[in-house]
């Protein structure tokens, strides 16, 4: 998901997607440890998505303070 797509979402939607991404990352890491993961590149993609979600949430938090 691109940053401009994340910025178009509501805060609640971002938080929901963040939770889903974190849960999926947890499951992929578990699968990786037991050798069942099919797409290793998905892990790094999820990490980037999580960072984007957190960045946009932080931007909104800082904008609300001003």
Q: Domains in the chain: how many in total?
A: 1
Write out the residue range of the structural domain in which residue 53 sits. 3-65
In degrees rounded to 5, what are phi and psi of residue 43?
Answer: -65, -50
* Token pair belonging to 4: 């401009």
CA-to-CA separations, 4 to 13, 24, 25, 31, in angstroms, rounded: 14, 22, 22, 31
How much is the pLDDT for 1? 85
Written as tens digits, the pLDDT of the chain (66 aa) is: 899 999 999 999 999 999 999 999 999 999 999 999 889 999 999 999 999 999 999 999 999 998
CATH code where residue 47 lies: 1.10.287.310
Reported pTM: 0.92
């Amino acid at each position: 998901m691109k940053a401009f797509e994340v910025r178009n979402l509501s805060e609640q939607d971002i938080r929901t997607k963040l939770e889903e991404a974190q849960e999926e990352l947890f499951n992929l890491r578990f699968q990786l440890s037991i050798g069942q993961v099919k797409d290793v590149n998905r892990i790094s993609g999820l990490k980037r998505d999580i960072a984007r979600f957190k960045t946009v949430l932080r931007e909104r938090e800082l904008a609300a303070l001003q």
